Amino acid sequence: MALAEPRTATAPRRVSVLGSTGSVGCNTLDLIERNPNAFQVVALTAHRNVEALAAQAKKFRPAVVAIADPACYAALKDALAETNIEVAAGPQSLVDAALQPTDWVMAGIVGAAGLAPTIAAAKQGAILAVANKECFVTAGDLFLTEVKRHGATVLPVDSEHNAIFQVFDFEGRDAIESIILTASGGPFRETPLAELANVTPQQATAHPNWEMGAKISIDSATMMNKGLELIEAHYLFNMPATDIEVLVHPQSIVHSMVGYVDGSVLAQLGTPDMRTPIAYTLAWPERMAAPSGRLDLAEIATLTFEKPDLLRFPALRVARDALGTGNGAPTILNAANEVAVAAFMEGQIGFMAIVSTVERTLESMDAQTPGSLADVVALDADARRVADQILATRGGV
């Protein structure tokens, strides 16, 4: 199905930013601040960063702000006491914020926590700029069913899927042969394998090209992020996994490619700055100016590509296998990965134990097909419990 149909936007375009204090949310608000007459902020949400959310609210004056952690309510309420902004807290408050009447929603909440608010936004038929790949990984069919039922529009924000969207011929999709996702290879592309077991969270979050949040940076270091993106691409573009390739491209200039039956390969290029794909979705179907650095291919001179090393990056194999298994396997994959990454960040396990924990969780569970959002939530919770049990018995290996 086509992900998007052009529509006439109101002026200014009303926007809500779910996950406004994260990297994607901050970049979105940076663009909005540069174009104050084009956008009106309706709602902002965050997990527990009261200081940043309050500062954003005072600057953009949304009707509603919501914070996921109920313990943060009083501090946020006090910080905004001199305003008439409605303040809410708790997981349901994120869903309620997503239901605020708006034209465009940035779905930027990291992880499975973003699923319910993003589906809520879909139910009001808004343009959904989706940076939350977990919507597709944990509940791809269910999410897209809600999008279609309510006439919502999906625009991918991940640089790779945004690139594909820009060069994907939806009207002539029979002529499309493959999708090629590019990956930087992260900070450990050339690290000796024997040293990977000892890398620290600080090293794993030091991405060579992109400025991202800690969880996504670690996913990039294991290349689980690319595995999740493979699953996302399958759902976004209705492509079988066998037609989705991954190439390591250390320069992060070619953001992804689409191969056609006549041998043509169309690519979208740009500097590694998330404001480029965000700007594309903010102004769609038009384009807007963005402060991203301009590409100078003569200065870059060389672009290189290589096949991913599956011994170094077993997450790619595990994710592809989960997609092949289908049913609830991708939901289990994502939940176990979130648990394992959190354990690594807290120093409980080593870097290489992240993916092995995910794989053991998948092997330990029956990947039942979730038939509803409640089923997804239940399977996600079960997978987290199993992953926690595995971590409790492995001694940090």
CATH of the domain at 344: 1.10.1740.10
- The residue from 128, 156, 184 where one domain ends is 156
Do 264 and 340 lie in one domain? The reply is: no
Domain membership of residue 279 (yes or no) is no
Distance CA 376, CA 34 (A): 39
Confidence of residue 255 (pLDDT cuts 50, 70, 90): very high
Number of domains within the chain: 3
Nearest CA to 116 out of 131, 135, 102 is that of 135
| CATH (domain of 41) | 3.40.50.720
Work out the mean pLDDT of the chain and round it to a whole number.
93
Indicate if 249 and 115 belong to the same structural domain. no
- Residue 166 is which amino acid? Q
Between 262 and 217, where is the model more confident? 262
- Quickly list DSSP for 256-283: EEEEETTS-EEEEE--S-THHHHHHHHH
Confidence class for position 214, pLDDT limits 50, 70, 90: confident
Is residue 320 domain-resident? no
> In terms of domains, do 92 and 170 share one?
no
Q: Confidence band (pLDDT; 50, 70, 90) for 2?
A: very low
Sorting pLDDT into bands at 50, 70 and 90, what band is 396? very low
Q: Note the pLDDT tens digit of each residue in 175-202.
A: 999 999 999 998 899 999 989 989 998 8
| Residues 282-293: tens digit of each pLDDT | 999 999 999 999
- Phi, psi (deg, nearest 5) at residue 245: -105, 160
Say if residue 93 is in the same domain as residue 207. no
Q: What is the pLDDT of residue 233?
A: 97
Q: 147 and 171 in one domain?
A: no
Cα 365 from Cα 375, distance rounded (Å): 15
The residue segments making up the domain with residue 343 are 326-392
Cα–Cα distance between 320 and 133 in angstroms, integer?
Answer: 15
111 and 224 together in one domain: no
Judge whether 282 and 291 are in contact, CB under 8 Å. no
Would you list the DSSP string of 302-335? ----B---TTT-HHHHHHHHHHHH-TTHHHHHHH
Instruction: Assess if residue 96 is contained within a domain.
Output: yes
Same domain membership, residue 298 and residue 197: yes
290-299 contacts: CB < 8 A, separation 24 or more?
A: 290/31, 291/30, 291/34, 295/253, 295/269, 295/270, 295/271, 297/269
Domain presence at residue 3 = no
Average pLDDT rounded to a whole number, residues 238-248: 96
**Same structural domain for residues 152 and 23?**
yes
Percent of the chain with pLDDT over 70: 96
Does residue 283 sit within a domain?
A: no
Q: Verify that 80 and 172 share a domain, yes or no.
A: no
Considering the entire predicted model, what is its pTM? 0.91
Residues 304, 377, single domain; the answer is no
Give yes or no for residue 210 having a pLDDT over 80. Answer: no
Instruction: Indicate the residue among 156, 185, 220 that finishes a domain.
Output: 156
Domain boundary among 136, 156, 176: 156
Q: Mark whether 100 and 190 lie in a shared domain.
A: no
pLDDT for residue 1: 39
pLDDT surpassing 80 at residue 4? no
Residues 48-79: tens digit of each pLDDT: 999 999 999 999 999 999 999 999 999 999 99
* 146 and 171 both lie in a single domain: no
Is there a domain that residue 349 lies in?
A: yes
